Amino acid sequence: MKLLFATLWMVCGLASRAVADTSVTCTALEIRASVAASPNMPPELKALEKKLRKPPFSSWNAFALLSNTSVVAVVLKPTQLALVMGKAALLVREASAQRVAVTVTMDDESGQRVVDTKVSMALGDYVVIGRPIGNDGHLLAIRCVK
Amino acid sequence: MKTDYDLMCLHDGEIDPTESRAQRANLSADPHAATKLQFMGQLGDSLRAQAAAAMEEAPTDAMWQRIAPALATPVVPMRPPLQGYLWSAAAGAALAAAATVLLMRGLTDVARSQNAAVVTPPTTAPFVMVKASPPEVESLDVPTGSGAVFTLQDEDGSAAVIWISHDESGDPL
């Protein structure tokens, strides 16, 4: 019986380690950018603030966080991201100790494909997908860390 | 039932004459094999006719005698085959020597690093300066418009920005 428990413990430990090695934690921030009388920058966007102050995002001064989704993405397993304005899917294709390669697809509210892109970036960096909606902007910023 | 190979040998006369006569006599009992053998004969005749027609269209010696004086470039004799072999052998030997040197150097480095890890383990983790490389957009498909790609960098890190421009909408870019 002890041998059985020891074997199960080893198998579970190895399996959890394998999952940890092939997964990354990705955060998707959905942002609505607009021009307002009073500028707004939510605290959740602090890490992106300097970039949002630069063109082309500097056209707007009010940024609203529409959704904030954090997922544990396993390599080669697609993850759906529910957005307020449409939907997106994230596929981590490769993840090393320093970089991650992802495929991101985003659809608008009518289900029409907006973008399908493959990006390779350092862990902790962002990929920001933006599109105009009238005079406003709709942004999806994705960042993955180990 | 004869195999196709047996029938081909029979057709090409590659078996013993006595056995050939016996097999041809037995073909009356196997109409399928007889048809195949007949088809092989027709195919052979067709191929021989094609080859004969091609030979008739080929340049003759008389034609070459008329063409040769009109050629501006003199005929250059081919390089002796041995010379080509020598160059190939020399290049191959050089590549093999380079590969051996690289392999031995790699093995020596591995052995040296293993010995170093065993004999003198580092007391502190070495500081490794890793040069950050910006995000790379490997592919981009924008079905309903066009996309612009650029990178924003600051002390907080880098961001690959993909800006989608719809054809009918206004755009701050």
C-beta separation of B135 from A100 below 8 A: no
In a 3-state reduction of DSSP, which class is residue A86? coil
A61 touches chain B (CB under 8 A): no
C-beta separation of A40 from A63 below 8 A: yes
Q: Give Cβ neighbours of residue B141 (< 8 Å, ≥ 6 apart).
A: A115, A116, A117
Compute how many other C-beta atoms are within 10 angstroms of the C-beta atom of residue A109.
12
Kindly report, residue by residue over B45-92, the tens digit of the pLDDT: 888 888 888 777 776 777 777 777 777 666 655 555 555 566 667 778
* A-interface mutation test, from B138, B167, B168, most A Cβ less than 10 A away: B138
Kindly report, residue by residue over B86-118, the tens digit of the pLDDT: 666 777 888 888 877 777 666 555 555 554 444
Residues 1-60 of A with CB under 8 A from B: 47-48, 50-51, 54, 56, 59
Please tell me the pTM assigned to this model: 0.54
Chain A partners of B166 at a C-beta cutoff of 8 Å? 131-132
Give me the residue from B134, B140, B152 closest to A117, CB to CB: B140
For chain B, the farthest-separated pair of C-alpha atoms sits apart, in whole angstroms, at 94
pLDDT at B170 exceeding the cut of 50 = no
The 8-class DSSP code of residue B120 comes to: S
Kindly report, residue by residue over A18-54, the tens digit of the pLDDT: 444 689 999 999 999 999 999 999 999 999 999 999 9
C-beta separation of A99 from A122 below 8 A: yes
pLDDT at A83 exceeding the cut of 90 = yes
Residue appearing with tokens 């920005």? B161
Q: Give Cβ neighbours of residue A96 (< 8 Å, ≥ 6 apart).
A: none
Taking the CA atoms of residue A132, residue A107, residue A68 and residue B140 in that order, the dihedral angle to the nearest 10 degrees is: -80
Give me the residue from B132, B135, B152 closest to A119, CB to CB: B135
In A, minimum Cα distance to B145 occurs at A114
Model pLDDT, residue B117 = 45
Taking the CA atoms of residue B91, residue B92, residue B95 and residue B97 in that order, the dihedral angle to the nearest 10 degrees is: -110
Q: Over range B154-166, report the average pLDDT.
A: 89
* Nearest-CA distance B133 → chain A (Å): 7
For residue A139, how far is the Cα from the chain centroid?
11
C-beta separation of A74 from A57 below 8 A: no
Residues 136-155 of B with CB under 8 A from A: 136-144, 147, 152, 154-155
Q: Residues B144, B149, B153, B159: is their CA dihedral positive or negative? A: positive
Chain B partners of A129 at a C-beta cutoff of 8 Å? 162, 164
Give me the residue from B141, B143, B163 closest to A56, CB to CB: B163
C-beta separation of B148 from B126 below 8 A: no
Residue among A129, A120, A111, A5 at smallest CA distance from B163:
A129
Model pLDDT, residue B77 = 54
Instruction: Compute chain B's Rg from CA coordinates.
Output: 38
> CA B109 to CA B159: how far, in whole Å?
37
Kindly report, residue by residue over A90-108, the tens digit of the pLDDT: 999 999 999 999 999 999 9
Return the structure tokens found at B97: 């020597």
C-beta separation of A127 from A104 below 8 A: yes
Give me the residue from A118, A128, A135 closest to B161, CB to CB: A128
Kindly report, residue by residue over A123-144, the tens digit of the pLDDT: 999 999 999 998 999 999 999 9
Compute how many other C-beta atoms are within 10 angstroms of the C-beta atom of residue B11.
17
